[in-house]
Amino acid sequence: MIRINLLPHREEKRKERRQQFYTLSGAMVLLGAAIALLVHTIYAGYIERQETKNAFIKAEIVKLDEEIVEIRRLREQIDSLLARKQVIESLQSSRAETVHLFNELARKMPNGVYLKSVKQAAQQVTLVGYAQSNARVSTLMRSLDESPFLQNPGLVEVKSATVNNRRVSEFILNIGIAPPSAENAQAAQGGAQ
């Protein structure tokens, strides 16, 4: 019988398998590292793009905050201008009111009554003056009450006083100014012109 020694052949096959295993293991390690590097690169790209977007959004938020501050400043200016406009409009609408008030006072003032001062606060006028008697003060109040422009005359105080060695009644009288109706406004405009 013939004997064949297969040991060297098996030994070579084992060496080849071992070498294939190491080669395949090395290739797998390299492939795994390449895949990990690829995944890391992709995720790093996503993160970088997201950070770029976040930075852009933050920059835009800063711009919008500046614009909001500017808008608030402009709104404050607008409110200030509107308040000024309303003051000017109220002054414009009431500028003839003083002239009309003095015209009414001159028309309704009875003989023997003299005014010392006239003060106006909003729609309230305070008259301080002298009258020859208390009856003249009553006459003044009745004539002021008949005026469509003046309303609610109210006597605050009447006291006796001496002016130029003559005995007179010093009075303080409050009257209200009626809000102008269309007729009163036209009369005030005509009186002012």
- Residue 181: its pLDDT value, please? 60
Cα–Cα distance, 62 to 141 (Å, whole number): 68
- Ranges assigned E (strand) in the chain: 113-121, 124-131, 150-163, 166-177
- Residue 106: its pLDDT value, please? 87
- Strands of the sheet containing 166-177, edge to edge, are 113-121, 124-131, 166-177, 150-163
Q: How far apart are the first and last CA of the chain?
A: 152
Among candidates 88, 117, 93, which has minimal Cα distance to 105? 117
The low-confidence residues of the chain, meaning pLDDT below 50, are 182, 188, 191-193
DSSP assignment letter at 152? E
Secondary structure tally for the chain: helices H, strands E: 3, 4
Helix axes of 134-146 and 7-108: crossing angle, nearest 10 degrees: 130
- Residue 79: its pLDDT value, please? 96
- Residue 6: its pLDDT value, please? 62
Please name the residue that has the structure tokens 């040991």.
7
- Residue 22: its pLDDT value, please? 94
